[in-house]
Amino acid sequence: MLTLHGAGIGKGIAIGTAFVLHRPALDIPEYTIPDDQVESEIQRLRYAIQAAHAQLSEIRDHIPENAPSEVLAFMDAHLLMLDDPLISKEPIKTIRKQHVNAESALRVHAESLVRAFEAMEDPYLRDKKTDIDQVVNRIQENLLNVQQANIGDIEDDLENKIIVTTDLTPADTVMLKHQKMTAFVTDLGGPISHTAILARSLKIPAIVGLHGATRYVRNGETLIVDGKRGTVILSPDQGVLSAYEDRWNEILQRRRELKTLLTSESVTKDGIRIQLMANIELPEDIDATRRAHADGVGLYRTEYLFMNRAEPPSEAEQFLAYKRVVTALQRPITIRTLDLGADKQVDGGRTSVSITTNPALGLRAIRLCLHEPGLFKPQLRAILRASAYGPIMVMIPMVSSLDELGQVLDLVEETKRELRREGHAYDEDIPIGGMIEVPAAAIAADLFASRLDFLSIGTNDLIQYTLAIDRVDDAVNYLYDPLHPSVLRLIKMVIDAGNRAGIPVAMCGEMAGESQYTKLLLGFGLRSFSMEPDSLLEIKKIVRETDLSSLSDPVQEILTCSLPNELRRLVEKLK
Ligand code: PEP
Ligand code: MG
C-alpha cells in the first residue's frame, strides 16, 4: 500500500481499478523544405488544423444535454484557439520565410503563446497554457499522423475505472465521463485548470499534478482517490478499503441531509440572518446559484468573458452577459470589474512578456484598468446599463491606494453622466464596493470604508500579500495559512471598520466556503459569505447551529493566542 499526494479536485471519494493510459510526449521533427514544396507543406498544416477542428467539433456535438454549460464553453474555447493567428497564420508565414517543416513552425509559435500565458500573474490565465498545449498537441498528432492512446477509441467499459495518465484535456474529460469513468489522476495539471474546473462541475473526484502517477500506478490495481485530501492510495489493504467505504457512505448521507436545508433560512440560533452568496465565473453558473438557493452573487469574476479570444468583448456583448445574469436571478449581483494579470496579451497582443518584475505586485486588476481606460470604460458602461434590469453592485478588485479609489469613483461618475446624456437607463444609486485583499487596504479599511458602499474580503490574495507567499507557487504552499494571526487580525480589522462605518462587509475568498472557519468568522462579526455554490448548504448548516453570543470569549482568546497549534485547537473547538 502506498499513498501519493497531488492537488485534490472536488470533495468526493472514488474506489476503483486503475486504467493506466500512457501517452508519451510527441517527438517533433525539424527539417528544411525545398522551395518547390513550401506550398504543399503549408497545405499540410492547413489540413492538420482542419482535422483538429473536425475532431473537436465532433466531440462538441456529442456533449450530453445535461452536461454543465462550462463543458460547451471549454470546447468552444479550444475551437477558438485553432483560429488564433499564432496557430493558424504565423506558422504559415514562418514556413514561407524560413522553409521549415510545419511541425517545427507550429511549435515555435505555440511556445511563444504558451510563454505569454505562463508569464501572466493571474492563475486562471496562467492555467490557459495547458489548453494551448492540448490544442497544439492535437494538431501535431494530425501532422505526424500519430495515433496516441485516443480517449475516444477506448472500447473498455470504464465503469469503476480510475484513469491514470499524463494529462487530460477538457475534451478527454467529457469523453471519459461518457464512458462512466469513476475518477482520474494526472501527472500534470493545476487545481484551477479548465480540466480541474470541469471535473469539479461534473463531480468527478480527481487528483492533478501528481508527478509520477503514471510511473507508480500499475494497470489493474485498486486505487482510492480522495479528492478532498488530494491523495491516491495504491493497493489499499482491506482495513483501509472498508474505512473509505464507510467514509464515502457518510459523505453521501451527509449530502442527502444537507439537501433538506435547501429552503431553510440562513439564520443563527439567536435569530441573526446571515447572507450566503455564490461566486460565479460565467453567466451560465447562474443555474448552480439558483439551485443552491443563494441570496445572490457575491463575486462574479468577469475576466472569464475576456478569455480565449483575440479581442476583448464589446460593451454590447458585456451588457448582454451582465443583463442575462441579473435578469435570470433577480437577486443582488456583485460584478467584479476586470481582474486581469500584469500584461495585455489576453486581449489580442501576442508578443511574449518580460517577467523580470514580480507580476503579483504589478499592473494587475484595478491598476491595469486605470492604466487602460479603453478596456475599463466599456466594462463600466456595460455594468451600469445592466443595472437598469436588476440589483447590481460594482466591486473593485485589489484596491490599495485612496488616490486610485478616487480615480475609479470619478470614472464611475463620468460614465453615469455620459449614459445620462445618451439617454441610457441605469441605477443612479448603484453601490460601489472594494475588495480588501491587499494589506494596505485592510490596515486603512476605515478610510476605504468611508468612501465605499461595501467591502468584500478577498482572502486568497489577502493571505498571499500578507504572508508574502505566491499563491500559485507549489514550493511555498505549505506557508499559506488562513489562521496566521496577522491574517486573522486583518480580517477582524476590516469587519470592524465596515461595521463602524455602517456598511456591509462580505468575504468572497475561499475561506468563506470552508466550514472549519465559519464559526470563527461569525464570531468576528462577518454576516455575508460568498463561495462556490456547492459549499453553500454546508455553511448554512453551521450558521443554523451557531449561537453568536457564545462566540465572543473564544474569539478573543484566538486573537491573542501566540501558539499556532493551540490557536488551531481553539478554532477546532468552536465547531
Ligand atoms: C480573493 O483574492 O480572495 C478573491 C476572491 O479573488 P481571486 O481569487 O479571483 O483573486
Ligand atoms: Mg483576489
Among candidate residues 466, 463, 524, the one with its CA nearest the CA of residue 495: 524
Decide if pLDDT at 283 tops 90. Answer: no
Residues within a 6 A CB radius of ligand 1? 299, 301, 339, 437, 458-461, 508-509
CB atoms within 10 A of CB 429: 8
Whether the predicted model's global pTM rises above the 0.85 cut? no
- Residue 72: pLDDT band (50, 70, 90) is confident
Q: Whose CA is nearest to atom 8 of ligand 1?
A: 460
* pLDDT at site 565: 95
Average pLDDT of the segment spanning 335-362? 58
How does pLDDT run across 99-124, given as a tens digit for each residue? 999 999 998 888 888 887 777 777 66
Decide if pLDDT at 316 tops 90. Answer: yes
Decide if pLDDT at 175 tops 60. Answer: yes
Average pLDDT of the segment spanning 363-386? 95
* pLDDT at site 115: 80
Catalytic residue among 78, 109, 369, 508: 508
Inter-residue contact 225 to 162 (CB < 8 Å): yes
Distance between Cα 280 and ligand 1 center (Å): 12
How does pLDDT run across 522-574, given as a tens digit for each residue? 999 999 999 989 889 999 999 999 999 999 999 999 999 999 999 999 999 99
Decide if pLDDT at 85 tops 70. Answer: yes
Which domains does the chain show, CATH number per domain? 2-24+156-257 (3.50.30.10), 35-144 (1.10.274.10), 296-430 (3.20.20.60)
DSSP 273: B
> Over the chain, what is the mean pLDDT?
88
Among candidate residues 229, 199, 248, 208, the one with its CA nearest the CA of residue 534: 199
**Catalytic annotation present for 561:** no
Number of the ligand closest to the Cα of 511: 1
Inter-residue contact 455 to 499 (CB < 8 Å): no
Q: Whose CA is nearest to atom 1 of ligand 1?
A: 458
Strand order in the sheet with 7-9: 2-5, 231-234, 222-226, 13-21, 161-165, 183-186, 206-208, 7-9
Among candidate residues 156, 278, 223, the one with its CA nearest the CA of residue 533: 278
Average pLDDT of the segment spanning 283-301? 92
* pLDDT at site 502: 98
Distance between Cα 488 and ligand 2 center (Å): 17
Which residues, 6+ apart, have CB-to-CB distance to 431 below 8 Å? 393, 394, 453, 454
Q: Whose CA is nearest to atom 5 of ligand 1?
A: 509
Distance (Å, rounded) from C-alpha 3 to C-alpha 190?
Answer: 19
Decide if pLDDT at 266 tops 90. Answer: yes
- Pocket-testing residue among 459, 460, 466, 535, ligand 1, by greatest number of atoms within 8 A of Cβ: 460
Distance between Cα 461 and ligand 2 center (Å): 5
Average pLDDT of the segment spanning 80-85? 86
**Catalytic annotation present for 508:** yes
Decide if pLDDT at 489 tops 90. Answer: yes
Q: Which atom of ligand 1 is nearest to the CA of 456?
A: 5
Of 231-235, 236-240, 337-341, the one with minimum mean pLDDT is 337-341
Catalytic residue among 109, 194, 369, 561: 194
Distance between Cα 459 and ligand 1 center (Å): 7
Inter-residue contact 170 to 78 (CB < 8 Å): yes
